[in-house]
Chains A and B, each alone.
Chain A
Amino acid sequence: MEQKLHKQLSSYDINLFTEGLKRHLNIDFTEYANAFLRFRIMKFIDKWGIKDIETLLLRLRSNTSLLERFVLFMSVETTEMFRDPGFWRVFQKRVIHDSLSKKDSTINVLVPFITSDDELFTLLVLFEKNGLLEKSYIVATSPFEVNIKRTKSYSFTEKQVALANENYKRFAQNMDVHLWDYFIKTENNGYVFRDDLLDKVNFVVTDIVSNNFASVDRNFDLILFRNRMIYFNLNLQNRVLEHLFYHLETKGFLVIGFKENISSFIFLDRLKKVDKKEKIFIKIK
Chain B
Amino acid sequence: MANYYIFIGGSAGSFQSIVKILNSLPETYNYPIFLSLHRLKHVRGGFVEALSIKSKLKVVEPEDKTVIMGGLVYLAPANYHMYIEVSNTIALSTEEPVNHSRPSIDLVFKSAAYVFEKKVIGILLSGANKDGAEGLLEIKNYGGTTIVQDPKEASVSVMPQSALDLFKPSYVMTVNQIIEFLNSIYI
**Contact present for B110 and A39 (CB under 8 Å):** yes
Cα distance, A260 to B96, chains bound together (Å) = 18
Which residue of A40, A84, A260 contacts B64 across the interface (Cβ within 8 Å)? A260
**Contact present for B111 and A39 (CB under 8 Å):** yes
> Given A34-B85, A259-B80, A260-B64: A78 and B94 within 8 A (CB)?
yes
Closest-by-CB residue of B relative to A1 is B167
Which residues of chain B have C-beta atoms less than 8 A from A6's C-beta?
110, 137-138, 141
Cα distance, A35 to B68, chains bound together (Å) = 15
**Contact present for B114 and A8 (CB under 8 Å):** yes
Cα distance, A78 to B94, chains bound together (Å) = 7
**Contact present for A259 and B114 (CB under 8 Å):** no
Write out, one digit per residue, whether chain A residues 248-261 have a CB within 8 A of any chain B CB (1) or not (0): 00000000011111
Which residues of chain A have C-beta atoms less than 8 A from B94's C-beta?
76, 78-79, 227, 230
Cα distance, A261 to B63, chains bound together (Å) = 6
Closest-by-CB residue of A relative to B102 is A79
- The answer to whether B2 has its CB under 8 Å from any CB of chain A is no
- The answer to whether B177 has its CB under 8 Å from any CB of chain A is no
**Contact present for B83 and A35 (CB under 8 Å):** yes
Closest-by-CB residue of B relative to A258 is B44
**Contact present for A39 and B83 (CB under 8 Å):** yes
> Given A35-B85, A259-B92: A170 and B63 within 8 A (CB)?
no
Which residue of B77, B85, B110, B140 contacts A8 across the interface (Cβ within 8 Å)? B110
> Given A230-B93, A258-B44: A35 and B84 within 8 A (CB)?
yes
**Contact present for B44 and A86 (CB under 8 Å):** yes
Closest-by-CB residue of A relative to B43 is A86
**Contact present for B91 and A230 (CB under 8 Å):** yes
Interface members, chain B 26-59 (any A CB < 8 Å): 42, 44
- The answer to whether B145 has its CB under 8 Å from any CB of chain A is no
Which residues of chain B have C-beta atoms less than 8 A from A39's C-beta?
83, 107, 110-111
Which residues of chain B have C-beta atoms less than 8 A from A258's C-beta?
44, 77
Which residues of chain B have C-beta atoms less than 8 A from A3's C-beta?
137, 140-141, 167
Q: How many Å from the CB of B69 to the closest CB on chain A?
A: 14
> Given A85-B42, A170-B42, A259-B64: A33 and B168 within 8 A (CB)?
no
| Size class of the A contact interface (CB-based, 8 Å) | 20 to 34
Write out, one digit per residue, whether chain B residues 106-124 have a CB within 8 A of any chain A CB (1) or not (0): 0100110110000000000
Cα distance, A261 to B113, chains bound together (Å) = 25
Cα distance, A5 to B63, chains bound together (Å) = 31
Which residues of chain B have C-beta atoms less than 8 A from A36's C-beta?
83, 91, 93, 95
Which residues of chain A have C-beta atoms less than 8 A from B79's C-beta?
79, 83-84
**Contact present for A259 and B63 (CB under 8 Å):** yes
Q: How many Å from the CB of B168 to the closest CB on chain A?
A: 7
**Contact present for B83 and A259 (CB under 8 Å):** no
Which residues of chain A have C-beta atoms less than 8 A from B62's C-beta?
259
Interface members, chain A 6-58 (any B CB < 8 Å): 6, 8, 11, 33-36, 38-40
Which residues of chain B have C-beta atoms less than 8 A from A77's C-beta?
96
**Contact present for B166 and A234 (CB under 8 Å):** no
Which residue of A1, A170, A234 contacts B65 across the interface (Cβ within 8 Å)? A234
- The answer to whether B3 has its CB under 8 Å from any CB of chain A is no
> Given A11-B86, A230-B93: A2 and B141 within 8 A (CB)?
no
- The answer to whether B176 has its CB under 8 Å from any CB of chain A is no
Most buried by A among B42, B107, B114, B168: B114
Cα distance, A40 to B50, chains bound together (Å) = 33
- The answer to whether A229 has its CB under 8 Å from any CB of chain B is yes
**Contact present for A5 and B141 (CB under 8 Å):** yes
- The answer to whether B16 has its CB under 8 Å from any CB of chain A is no
Q: How many Å from the CB of A101 to the closest CB on chain B?
A: 27
Which residues of chain A have C-beta atoms less than 8 A from B63's C-beta?
259-261
Interchain residue pairs with CB less than 8 A apart (18): A2-B166, A3-B141, A6-B141, A8-B114, A11-B86, A33-B83, A33-B91, A34-B86, A35-B83, A39-B83, A76-B96, A77-B96, A170-B42, A229-B64, A230-B92, A259-B77, A260-B63, A261-B66
B contact set with A: CB distance below 8 Å: 42, 44, 61-66, 77, 79-80, 83-87, 91-96, 107, 110-111, 113-114, 137-138, 140-141, 166-168
| 7 pairs of A and B residues whose beta carbons are closest in the complex | A35-B83, A261-B63, A230-B64, A5-B141, A8-B114, A227-B94, A35-B111
